[in-house]
Amino acid sequence: MKFATLFILSIVISFFTSNLANAQWVQTNTPSGCYVLCIAESSAGLFAGTREQGVFLSTDNGTKWTSVSTGLPLPPTVSALAVSGSKLFAGAYGVAGSPLDGALVSSNNGATWSLIDTGLTSNYVYSFAISGANTSTPILFAGTAEAGIFRSTDNGSHWTAVNTGLTNLTVQALVVSDSNDSSPMLFAGTWDGVFLSTNNGTSWTTSSTGLPSTRVSALTMRGTNASSTMLFAGIYGAGVFISTNKGTSWTEANTGLAGKYVAAFAVNGTSLFVGTDSGVFLTTNNATNWTRVNSGLLAVTGNPVVSALAISGKYLFAGIFPFGVWRRPLSEMSSVSNKEMSTTFNLNQNYPNPFNPSTEINFTLTQRSIVQLDVFDMLGRKIQTLANTTMDAGQHNATFNAGNLPSGIYTAQLSTNGGRREMKMILSK
């Protein structure tokens, strides 16, 4: 029996290895089950912040990752990373009451960390932005949970709250117009919309006209300075919106985009990438339309849920929940194949996830189709059929109630005339 089990495992491993070798996206060697929350590039390599596994460093484009978490709280969750010169900043938290929760800094590429929390009244740092990152006098901003935005002019040694004008103090995203701009525009994505500061956070004004929802999950800019900036916002549950007038007004930009829960953006010249609960999408025309660039992800991950994006060298890197860091050459995505661009249906990540005891599964059909939606346990046994009928084109949803099931990872499998897709769901009781 033991020999048979090993033989089967060998076949499975060979199958996945073969798939990865031929896939356009390639899974890097981050630890198994790694949930990557943020990725940052420095001259030393690529850093990945994770949930409950700390920070990892790769100096070879993801071929090998090394833990660099000495001095971080245990178990360390790192929700934000930023680089300024030789300094690496992290927003980290661990067990309740940990003496090293909050903002930390490393001056030796993560070999050791020091707490920098004087004046910082929140232990949960969601986001960083740096104005003048490559100058001798950078200004560091930290967006926190329920305590607003803090500013530091001495590399984090001291912090000052800068919340005048904000109507909500949970700040999930920060972006500055240009790290070396003499008159930078600083935008904050809060749970009450977008806010703008033109005086390094001293005061804020609302910039949310046209946004359908108040919770902002991601922000990015395209432009060389404050006067030539296009601003993109990820709105929780509503997709991507664009502003061409410095946040004065916003327009929906979701044509071709599947998945409305936006986690991250990445900019490379005229190419803008967005990571959603349905994978990675690309636009080269300022979000007039989006193209799916998921080839190689679905074979292993089912429905790919993107938690982080970053560009380093010739690669785009993506944190895929819960499958660690993946990479793909940027050159491959300059001309996307027709097969990758087209899709007749999409399976979105369930919400909430993790869940207890029930969760909603949403999917989209672009044409009338026979639909079967099943749920399997970790042993591959079918435990529920949520749908088995013909459905019209449009948005559909189903409820999975796991009240009588044990905690664990369950798989939702959607089968239509256009093929089959899967996603993982986490039941946590």
Instruction: Report CA-CA distances (Å) from 405 to 268, 319, 414, 422, 426.
Output: 45, 29, 21, 20, 12
Q: How far apart are CA 372 and CA 374, in angstroms?
A: 6
Please tell me the predicted confidence (pLDDT) of residue 22: 40
pLDDT tens digits along 87-133: 999 998 865 556 567 899 999 999 999 889 899 998 899 999 998 87
Q: Which residue segments constitute the domains of the chain, with CATH numbers given?
A: 26-336 (2.130.10.10), 345-427 (2.60.40.2550)
Across the range 357-375, mean pLDDT stands at 88
pLDDT at 69 exceeding the cut of 90: no
Mean pLDDT across the stretch 408-427? 83
Residue count of the chain, please give it: 429
Separation of alpha carbons 262 and 254, rounded Å: 11
DSSP codes joined into one string, 191-216: BTEEEEESSTTSS-EE--TT-S-S-E
pLDDT of residue 182: 58
Phi, then psi, of 425 in degrees rounded to 5? -130, 140
If you average pLDDT over residues 396-402, what whole number do you get?
A: 93
Q: Binning pLDDT at 50, 70 and 90, where does residue 1 land?
A: very low
Q: Is the pLDDT of residue 429 over 80?
A: yes
Percent of the chain with pLDDT over 90: 49
* pTM (predicted TM-score): 0.74
